[in-house]
A and B are shown apart, each in its own frame.
Chain A
Amino acid sequence: MIVGETVQQFRVPLVGCDGFLLALEDLMAAGGQGRHVGLTVLKLGAGFCATSLRSAAERFSRSHPLLHARVRRGWLFGVPEWRAEGPFLGSGVLIEEHPPAVSVESVCERVLALPTTETLRIDVVSIEGSTYLVVKWLHMLFDGRGIELALHEIARLAEHPAEPVTVQRSWGAAFTLPRNFWERLRGVRTFLARYHQLEATVFASLGGAVPRPGEARFRILHFNTEQSRSIRERAEFLTGGIFLLPYFFAAVARAHAAVFELRGQVPMNYHAGAPVQGRRRGAKHPIFQNQISQFYFSLWHEEVSSLEIATRSIHAQFSAMARSKVDSSFLIMLNWLLRMPERLYMNFLRADTNGHLTSFFHSHTGQFMPETLTFCGAALADGWHIPTVSTPPGSGIFFSERNRRLTGTVSWRDGVLSEAEVDAMCLRLTRDLLGEG
Chain B
Amino acid sequence: MARPVSHQKILQDLLSLVQEHLFESQSGMDAETDLFEAGMESMGIMQLIMQIEERFGIVVSDGDVTRQNFRSVAALAAMVERLSTSGE
Contacts and interface: CB of A to CB of B under 8 A. Distances in A.
Contacts of A281: 22-24, 26, 38-40, 44
Interface of B: 21-26, 36, 38-47, 50, 62, 65-67, 70
Interface of A: 236, 240-246, 276-277, 280-284, 318-319, 322-323, 366-367, 370
Given A282-B25, A282-B26, A283-B24, A242 B39 contact: no
A367 B66 CA distance: 20
Interface centre among B41, B47, B67, B70, by most chain A C-beta atoms within 10 angstroms, is B41
Contacts of A322: 43, 46-47, 50
A240 B45 CA distance: 14
19 contacts: A240-B62, A241-B66, A242-B45, A243-B45, A244-B42, A245-B41, A245-B43, A277-B43, A281-B23, A281-B39, A282-B23, A282-B25, A282-B39, A283-B25, A318-B42, A318-B46, A319-B62, A322-B46, A322-B50
B35 to A, nearest CB: 10
Contacts of B50: 322-323
Contact of B41 (A284, A323, A366): A366
A370 B25 CA distance: 13
Interface centre among B24, B40, B41, B43, by most chain A C-beta atoms within 10 angstroms, is B43
B72 to A, nearest CB: 13
Contacts of A242: 36, 42, 45, 65-67, 70
Contacts of B42: 242-246, 318
Contact of B67 (A241, A277, A282, A283): A241
A393 to B, nearest CB: 23
B62 A241 contact: yes
B22 A280 contact: yes
Nearest to B25: A282
A282 B24 contact: yes
A322 B62 CA distance: 14
Given A318-B46, A366-B39, A367-B39, 15 more contacts: A242-B45, A242-B65, A245-B43, A276-B43, A277-B43, A280-B23, A280-B24, A281-B23, A281-B39, A281-B40, A282-B26, A318-B42, A319-B46, A322-B43, A323-B46
A284 B45 contact: no
B5 to A, nearest CB: 24
A323 B49 CA distance: 9
Interface centre among A284, A322, A370, by most chain B C-beta atoms within 10 angstroms, is A322
Contacts of A245: 41-43
Contacts of B23: 280-282
A426 to B, nearest CB: 24
A264 B35 CA distance: 45
A308 to B, nearest CB: 16
B24 to A, nearest CB: 4
B43 to A, nearest CB: 6
